[in-house]
């Protein structure tokens, strides 16, 4: 599977996904880094058949209203440490 991990999630999540055989990129690696607008993340995810991994429910709203991004994994954990998240 292919993923794009949003800014508010740790880069370690990308490393975890890669270690488990997936292709993953963090928004910090994109040209506009963590300031990449959601619209660009959605377009990239759809064009490259990636799943958007985010805590931002704006992606869910966009998915439900406009069908983009095509696939999303919403992380809703509250305050936990990065190792607990991974």
Note the pTM of the prediction, 2 decimals: 0.95
pLDDT tens sequence across 30-49? 999 999 999 999 999 999 99
Higher local confidence (pLDDT), 77 or 39: 39
pLDDT tens sequence across 2-33? 999 999 999 999 999 999 999 999 999 999 99
Domain residue ranges in the chain = 2-78
In sequence order, what E strands does the chain have? 2-5, 23-26, 51-54, 72-74
Nearest of 51, 54, 4 to residue 24 by alpha carbon: 4
Across residues 51-72, what is the average pLDDT?
Answer: 96
In sequence order, what E strands does 27-76 have? 51-54, 72-74
pLDDT of residue 67: 97
Tokens read off for 74:
């919403």
Express as a percent the part of the chain with pLDDT over 90.
Answer: 93
């Amino acid at each position: 599977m292919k993923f794009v991990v949003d800014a508010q999630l740790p880069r370690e999540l990308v490393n975890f996904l890669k270690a488990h055989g997936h292709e993953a990129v963090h928004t910090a690696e994109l040209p506009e880094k963590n300031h990449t607008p959601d619209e660009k993340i959605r377009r990239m995810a759809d064009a490259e058949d990636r799943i958007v991994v985010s805590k931002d429910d704006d992606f869910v709203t966009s998915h439900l209203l406009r069908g983009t991004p095509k696939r999303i994994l919403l992380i809703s954990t509250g305050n936990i440490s990065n190792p607990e998240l991974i």
